[in-house]
Chain A
Amino acid sequence: MIVDGTAARSESRDRDRAPGRLLFKAVLIVVVGVAGGTVFHAATAGQAFTGPSPPGEIVSLAQARTAIDDHSTVFLDARRLVAYEEGHIPGARSLPLYEFEQAVERAMVGVSRSTAIITYCEGVSCDSAARLAVRLVRAGYRNIRAFPQGWEAWRAAGYPARGGQTP
């Protein structure tokens, strides 16, 4: 028993003295994980990570501006609620993409399946608007368009903006 205990103590000491080994293995785990993810990403050419193209027509900045005056068109803001509350296109409703399941019922009150809908997000660098459009099509909405230039272009153009609560 004493021999076993001495061996265990010695073993424990060895491991105490080898933080480098601990770190080396940890780095190896990270490297293998990163390599796996990189190979997967390269193998799918990144397609697994991007939503499909917007299912409907693309709306230009000028068309979006005109659509604002057409009160039958519903604008949907795919950004986070905080971003929406900081500023959004007048009349737009908040429907954050990542909270779609929880928020869609509230956001789509009074909107029929054939209502004209325009989705937007921050700007050309985000694809939430396109992905939101896809999810709405899957949910049965038939008249969806995306406004890829989004809030950035709208704000840069100096068009009217609103901040405040969700309608």
Chain B
Amino acid sequence: MSPGRPKGVIILCVRVALGGALLGAGVVKMADPVAFVGAIESYALTPQSWNQPIAALLPWLEVLTGGLLLCGLWTRSSALVAAGMLICFVGAMGINLARGADVDCGCFGPGLGDLPLWASMVRTSLLLAAAVLLLRERQDPWLSVDRALRAEASGAPREPAAVSSHASAATSRSSS
């Protein structure tokens, strides 16, 4: 087993988990936009007139970002967008927690799992950590379109790339 394999597997799992979570959350919100407007309203952070536009745009962004992460296309850029959204979500939950308002998270539709807000905030924070991890990962992830495109462009075989990246790191260390 190459030294890069465990890390590659972890990154793959993180990418699939984050992508799946965002895609699922977006689809559920798209399916019931009225409930999502209600969820945004319950956070009481935005003017009433903003709630519908936010409810219209956010699920699309989640589905798009989640889909890209699952495919591994533009992975780091998708992770950056995901991180931006998740920071907003954590902030919104944090403000309501500080207010003492135990609103329904609304993350995956109304009342899913009946998690208290603090638990939803922890879950969202974990997703945020996953997004940051993907953002910091500069190698093309395994089983990704990014990696396939890169391999095709360079004509290099796909699997040895993980080994070659370590060779590159070793070369880099020896040269410095």
Q: Give chain A's interface residues, CB within 8 Å of chain B.
A: 1-2, 4-9, 11-12, 15-16, 22-23, 25-26, 28-30, 32-34, 36-38, 40-41, 46, 48-51, 80-83, 96-102, 125-126, 128, 131
Q: Does B160 contact A (CB under 8 A)?
A: yes
Q: Contacts A5-B171, A131-B34 known; list 16 others, CB within 8 Å.
A: A4-B161, A5-B168, A7-B164, A9-B168, A11-B154, A12-B168, A26-B77, A29-B68, A34-B57, A37-B56, A37-B57, A82-B99, A98-B42, A98-B103, A101-B111, A126-B41
CB neighbours of A1 from chain B (8 A)? 163-164, 167
Nearest A residue to B32 via CB reads A48
Whether A38 and B42, one on each chain, are in contact in the complex, defined by CB atoms closer than 8 angstroms, is no
Closest chain-B Cβ to A101's Cβ sits at a distance in Å of 5
Whether B161 and A8, one on each chain, are in contact in the complex, defined by CB atoms closer than 8 angstroms, is yes
Whether A29 and B111, one on each chain, are in contact in the complex, defined by CB atoms closer than 8 angstroms, is no
10 example contacts (A-B, Cβ-Cβ < 8 A) are as follows: A1-B164, A4-B156, A4-B160, A9-B172, A23-B80, A29-B64, A50-B34, A82-B99, A97-B42, A98-B110
CB neighbours of A4 from chain B (8 A)? 156, 160-161, 163-164, 167-168
* Residues of B36-88 whose CB lies within 8 A of A: 37-39, 41-42, 44, 48-49, 52-53, 55-61, 63-65, 68, 74, 76-78, 80-81, 84
Measured between alpha carbons, how far is A141 from B150 in the docked complex, in Å?
Answer: 61
CB neighbours of A32 from chain B (8 A)? 64
Q: Give chain B's interface residues, CB within 8 Å of chain A.
A: 33-35, 37-39, 41-42, 44, 48-49, 52-53, 55-61, 63-65, 68, 74, 76-78, 80-81, 84, 99-104, 106, 110-111, 114, 138-139, 150, 154, 156, 160-161, 163-165, 167-168, 170-172
Whether B57 and A2, one on each chain, are in contact in the complex, defined by CB atoms closer than 8 angstroms, is no
Measured between alpha carbons, how far is A30 from B58 in the docked complex, in Å?
Answer: 10
Closest chain-B Cβ to A127's Cβ sits at a distance in Å of 8
Q: Main secondary structure on chain A at its contact with chain B?
A: helix
Nearest A residue to B38 via CB reads A98
Closest chain-A Cβ to B7's Cβ sits at a distance in Å of 15
Closest chain-B Cβ to A12's Cβ sits at a distance in Å of 6
Contact of A2 among B81, B101, B171 (CB under 8 A): B171
Q: Main secondary structure on chain B at its contact with chain A?
A: helix
Nearest B residue to A41 via CB reads B56
Whether B104 and A99, one on each chain, are in contact in the complex, defined by CB atoms closer than 8 angstroms, is yes
Measured between alpha carbons, how far is A32 from B74 in the docked complex, in Å?
Answer: 14
CB neighbours of B101 from chain A (8 A)? 80-82
Contact of B171 among A9, A26, A131 (CB under 8 A): A9
Whether B42 and A80, one on each chain, are in contact in the complex, defined by CB atoms closer than 8 angstroms, is yes
Nearest A residue to B34 via CB reads A51
CB neighbours of A125 from chain B (8 A)? 48-49
